[in-house]
Amino acid sequence: MAIDAARILNEIEKHTAQARKGDPAKMRESIAAVRALCDLLLENDQLQKDSTPRAIPLASPQIQPVSSASKLQEEDGANGDSLFEF
């Protein structure tokens, strides 16, 4: 969902005006809001550039059977085909 850049810029102007006439605490809040709005505007611009559809190949994993020759040798006291053979 893209946000209109003009709307964001209007909000930046409102917060800039508040920052100019407010006390230091309000000024800090307004500046933080301007920063967030600028980040939103830049992010929105980047999303529009990256909105080209990308194809993701869907491939099913291939399971290769294990031949008995490639299995490890069974040792005395081993648990067979267990992953936890020590």
Structural domains in the chain (count):
1
CA distance 31 to 75: 70
41, part of any domain: yes
Q: How far apart are the first and last CA of the chain?
A: 55
User: Average pLDDT, stretch 57-68?
Assistant: 64
26, part of any domain: yes
79, part of any domain: no
Q: Which of the residue ranges 31-35, 58-62, 67-71 would you say has the lowest mean pLDDT?
A: 67-71
Q: Is it the case that residue 23 has pLDDT exceeding 80?
A: yes
Kindly report the pTM of this predicted structure.
0.53
14, part of any domain: yes
Q: Which residue has the higher pLDDT, 55 or 45?
A: 45
Residue 32 is part of which domain span? 5-49
- Backbone dihedral region of 64: left (phi > 0), alpha (psi from -120 to 50 degrees) or beta? beta
